[in-house]
Amino acid sequence: MAGLLGEKSVSPDLFRRRARWALGVVSRGRWVIVAVFLLMLAPAITYLYKAERLYTARVSVLIEAPDIGDNLLERSYGKSRLNEAAVQTEADIMQSRALAEKVIGKLDLDQDPEFNTTLRPPSLIGEIFSAINPLPYLVGQTSGEQALSPEGKDRVLRSRIEGMFLSRLLVTTSRRSYVVTIDFTANNGEKAARIANTLADMYIVDRLDVSLEETRRANQWLSQRLEELRHDVAIAEQAAEGFRSKHNLASVRKGDRQQSVLDQQLVELNSRLVLARSDYAQRQARSAQLRAGGAVETSSDVLQSSLIQRLREQEASTQRELSEALKSYGEQHPRIIGLRADLQELRSKIGQEISKVGVSLTADTEASRAAVQSLEQQIKDLQKGSNTAGEYELQLRELERQAETSRSLYESFLGRYKRDAEQENIQRANARVLSEAAIPVRPSSPRQMRVIALAFMMSFFGGVGLVFLLDRLNGRIRSAEEVEQITGLPLLASIPRVKSAKKEALTHAILDAPRSGLANAFRSLRAVLDTPQGSTGRQGGKVTLVTSSVPGEGKSFVSRNLAMALAAVGRRVLVIDGDLLRPTQHLLCGVTPERGLTQALLDPALDPLSLLIRDERGGFDLLPAGKIEVFSGNALASGHFETVLAALASHYDRIVIDASPCLATTDAQALCAVSDSVVFVVKWNETPRDAVLAALAYLDKVGARVNGIALSQVKLPANGRGGYGSYGYYGSYGAYDGYVKN
């Protein structure tokens, strides 16, 4: 039992696997948790039924910015737009003692026992506590009792009432809006709604009174200031008009600016001078080009002349005709002489036209220069007159600016005064009730959801603890963690449960769906068995035995699909049906052989190769069990099986033996002696732990080398939730699986 009871290796993902296992346990025990929850809910409901009900009414108030039109009113109100601090200030006003006192006085809350504790009848518990409480006597001995006048006692009482009132009041603001919510709690829903609405109304009335008072003070100051401004405007305008008349300064308005006549003329002449100088510079440049080294013919004026262009075209045509004629006639031919004369005449005309262009350009340049000089002289004459009136115009502009400033200020004050005078009696409070408090029909205390949530948490954790306790008492294997903890052997693969209406559909399941979770499971099992650790510590192990503890755990299905997984990578594979009592491999191949392993064991002269059945699609050979009517219980233990195995081993790379269950017969123990590796199949959530341990203990006694456990018929969703997918988790590949159903 060294392999079974040895120290369990700790995998790197141990924490993750245990977390999935815990989730699976909780999922399976959900009805236990529900039952515990129902049992825990009873005392919570009893408490909610007996506790005193308190009701909370909520009213929402929207804080708005004041209507500010100019800087004057901004100085009056002290703010122009809302911000977080301003909204919080309004919230503090809503829960101030001054506003609370107004609400208490309007609703006579000082006569309500809920707020005035002196009006409450004494309770038995309170009297007993007062009698046994030594604190008042100790305080009275050390500090003495304070003597108060009737007015002082009344103030203390009102302060206590206000404190009780404010303790039931909750004002909250939102950082992303200007809405303030007012919550008030009382032992009656109608009372709570009435107090909340009254508080909101009193706040709005208070803000309106403040706004009206500020407006009155602003209008009084405005009326006084308007008289002073009116006098200042009149004086400034008279001074400007008197100065203009005295110095005879006329002005013209151009857009929004005012200019004198001289200034306007100077601007126009300067514009004309700029254009004239530009034209003169262009003509002077062309004239200089004509005078520079005989470049008249290439000047722009010559090139742009239409007459010269036509003459040059005629010249080119005549030149071509002369060239053609020279090919046919001699130099003294009349046609040659005529063409030469025509060419000479054209060139003479071109020269004359070029001379005319040069003379015309020189004349235009002189005219442009004269125009520039004339404009410069006019500007000089105007500047002399402008310098004389410049100083007066500066003084006039200063007087006009002073008059305009006084007029603008006066008009602003006058408009503000008229508007405020008209709206003095219709002032806004810069706040309004967004939604009035409705009478609450459900109590806000005791907090039903909080009590129920607490009961739920207690019942959940109690139910989870009970579920884990019951899970520990359960005798079935349902996870990879349990496999390793109970057997001390590693989990080789988790084989998903396969459901199909026809058994024929499962014959080549991993070939029909090569990307399914089932195919991945057997590829994983193949990879584990191919490692040195999977084949008794050495590579090249050829014979693999597949067995289980009890019938019906899927060992035949595992043997067949393991063979197909090995054949898929090019191995020569043989499957031997070693379950002589209940053979099933030949049924999956669709044949009923007359002879098989039983006959080979009973007749040593019989060639085992002649008994093989080929599964073409699966890619492996099968040695069936043969007819069981002639079976002898000592056939496998007679020693002839080793001879049969030796005769077959040289023809195959891998041999898979489908053995009978360990606890049903002794055949598996006999076959273990000739096997290089053993795969022990355990059915998920069905095989008892005691049966598994008994079978493994029996195998250990006969020296079987058990490599690990194959967990078969795993229900994937439950297995994935429970963390049973360790060493073979295929729940995430459900989209690729065509066979795994739940």
pLDDT of residue 167: 92
Query: Which of 128-132, 144-148, 242-246 is least confident?
Result: 144-148
Among 232-236, 297-301, 408-412, name the one with the lowest average pLDDT: 297-301
Residue 171 bridge partners (DSSP): 182
pLDDT-based confidence at residue 320 (cuts at 50, 70, 90)? confident
pLDDT exceeds cutoff 50 at 548: yes
Whole-angstrom CA distances from 608 to 576, 636, 646, 648, 649 are 11, 15, 10, 7, 11
Architecture category of domain 478-488+526-709 in CATH: 3-Layer(aba) Sandwich (3.40)
Degrees, nearest 5: CA angle 234-235-239: 115
Q: Computed from CA positions of residues 140, 144, 147, 148, in that sequence, does the dihedral angle turn out positive or negative?
A: negative
Of the chain, the percentage scoring pLDDT greater than 90 comes to: 17
Q: Which of 149-153, 233-237, 282-286 has the lowest mean pLDDT?
A: 282-286
Q: Tens digits of per-residue pLDDT, 669-691?
A: 778 888 888 999 999 888 888 88
Q: Are 19 and 723 in contact (CB under 8 A)?
A: yes
- What torsion do the CA atoms of 197, 198, 200, 202 make, to the nearest 10 degrees? 160
User: What local confidence, expressed as pLDDT, does residue 573 receive?
Assistant: 94
Residue 589 predicted with pLDDT over 50:
yes
> Rounded distance, CA 424 to CA 220, Å?
12
Looking at residue 70, what is its pLDDT? 45
Is residue 176 helix, strand or coil? Answer: coil
Among 105, 102, 84, residue whose Cα is nearest residue 94? 102
Looking at residue 249, its pLDDT comes to 60
- Decide: pTM greater than 0.85: no
Q: Does position 718 have pLDDT exceeding 50, yes or no?
A: no
Averaged over 33-51, what is the pLDDT?
81
pLDDT of residue 731: 41
Kindly list the domain boundaries of the chain, sorted by start residue: 27-44+446-473, 45-216+429-435, 257-420, 478-488+526-709
**Between 33 and 403, where is the model more confident?**
33
Look at residue 80 and tell me whether its pLDDT is greater than 60: no
Task: Give the pLDDT of residue 39.
Answer: 85
Q: What is the DSSP string of 383-447?
A: HHHHHHHHHHHHHHHHHHHHHHHHHHHHHHHHHHHHHHHHSTTS---SEEEEEPPPPPSS--BS-
- Cα 81 to Cα 64: distance, rounded to the nearest angstrom: 9
Q: Which pLDDT band holds residue 730 (cuts at 50, 70, 90)?
A: very low
pLDDT confidence of residue 403 = 73
Q: Summarize pLDDT for 397-447 with one digit per residue, the tens.
A: 677 777 777 777 777 777 776 766 665 555 667 888 989 999 998 888 887
User: With bands split at pLDDT 50, 70 and 90, how would you rate the model's confidence at 709?
Assistant: very high
SS3 551: coil
pLDDT (tens digit per residue) in 562-574 = 999 999 998 999 9
Sorted by sequence, the CB contacts under 8 Å of residue 394 that are 6+ apart come out as none
Residue 721 has pLDDT above 50, yes or no: no
| Per-residue pLDDT reduced to its tens digit, 351-399 | 777 777 667 777 777 777 787 777 777 777 766 666 555 566 666 667 7
Max CA separation in the chain (angstroms): 160
CATH of 45-216+429-435, picked from 3.30.70, 1.10.1760, 3.40.50, 3.30.1890, is 3.30.1890
Helix-helix angle 30-50:448-473, to 10 degrees: 150
| pLDDT (0 to 100) of residue 368 | 79
Q: How far is CA 26 from the centre of its chain?
A: 31
Q: What does the pLDDT read at residue 25? A: 76
- Cβ atoms of 725 and 731 closer than 8 Å: yes
Residue 25: how many CA atoms within 13 Å on its side-chain side? 23
Which of 47-51, 263-267, 444-448, 677-681: highest mean pLDDT? 677-681
Q: Where are the alpha helices (H) located in 248-333, listed in sequence order?
A: 261-291, 300-304, 306-328
